[in-house]
Amino acid sequence: SDHRLSYPLSPAEMDWSDYFPAYFSKKRKLDDTTDDSVESEQPPADSNNGTTLDRKKVEVADIGCGFGGLLISLAPTFPDTLILGMEIRTQVTAYVQDRINALRTQSLSRKGGDQEEVPGGYQNIGVIRGNAMKFLPNFFEKHQLSKMFFCFPDPHFKARKHKARIISPTLLSEYAYILRPGGIIYTITDVEDLHLWMAKHLDEHPMFERLPEEEQEEDVCVKIMRTDTEEGKKVARNKGSKWVACFRKIEDPI
């Protein structure tokens, strides 16, 4: 149940500092009674270990990120890109947050040591508890995202449960709104029926076109999502098939 989820009223009101502390300064709350003059005395929020604060936006979303394997592999691959996992289960989200914290701490302790530093130091990944089927436009503004991942989403096998699937015509319009033109939706599943369903709905949607097979297979993100999510590893152990379909958001019609 998601009745206790908190989410911002609009993307502008989202405080990202808890999720990406190296990239964002804390937002002042509306009911903050601190005197205005105090704010002007504070140092400008422009530098933190050489990182410019409040200048970046989340660009990549892993929807239903589960235990975080994809996030952790994408982090050093795109060290300058902010990548957010969204997960509806409280304990799973907490587990991923612990993983990220541990990796950040390890990475900091490597600095100046003998071990090689991990690009980005895992400061560029974050996880948030949320229901991606309900609140995405509260977090992301129009055209904010360049990539969205749907890795091994829950299949909801029965026909009467299909409306619970995370790819549907209505939700695709929402995803098209937050994805920039040229942005990519990545899908992978071990359930052929769900693969056909996702590809069909994406194919039929006016704002998406399928990536040619060659381009798909050359994409480093496809390689990572085939091997590095926890669900994908389970499928590999059981020698199951993995079905991939990637779609590009087309230019908005004028």
Cα diameter, the chain: 63
CA torsion 195-86-137-57 (nearest 10°) is -110
Provide, rounded to whole angstroms, the least separation between the CB of residue 240 and ligand SAM: 13
- The site for ligand SAM (CB under 6 A) is made up of 64-66, 69, 86-89, 92, 131-133, 151-154, 229-232
Q: How far is the CB of 232 from ligand SAM (least distance, A)?
A: 6
| Residues linked to residue 208 through DSSP beta bridges, in sequence order | 249
H and E: helices and strands count for the chain? 9, 7
- On whether 131 is known to bind a ligand per the annotation, the reply is yes
Gap between the Cα atoms of 76 and 56, Å rounded? 17
Q: How many angstroms separate the CA atoms of 37 and 122, rounded?
A: 35
Nearest residue (CB) to ligand SAM, 7 versus 20: 7
Closer of 111 and 233 to ligand SAM (Cβ)? 233
Catalytic: 62?
Answer: no
Question: Which residue, 59 or 231, is less far from ligand SAM as judged by CB?
Answer: 231
3-state secondary structure of 184: strand
Active-site pick, 154, 190, 203, 228: 154
Please tell me whether 178 is known to bind a ligand: no
The span from the CA of 116 to the CA of 68, in Å, is 22
Does 125 show up as a binding residue in the annotation?
Answer: no
Contact (Cβ atoms closer than 8 angstroms) between residue 172 and residue 211: no
Using CB atoms within 10 A of its CB, is residue 214 exposed (0-12), middle (13-18) or buried (19+)?
Answer: exposed
Q: What is the nearest approach in angstroms of ligand SAM to the Cβ of residue 162?
A: 14
The answer to whether 209 is a known ligand-binding residue is no
Nearer to ligand SAM, 17 or 131 (CB): 131
State the nearest-atom distance from the C-beta of 25 to ligand SAM, in Å: 27
39 among annotated binding-site residues: no
Which tokens sit at 42? Answer: 């504070």
- Catalytic site residues? 154
Annotated binding site for S-adenosyl-L-methionine: 64, 87-88, 131-132, 151, 229-231
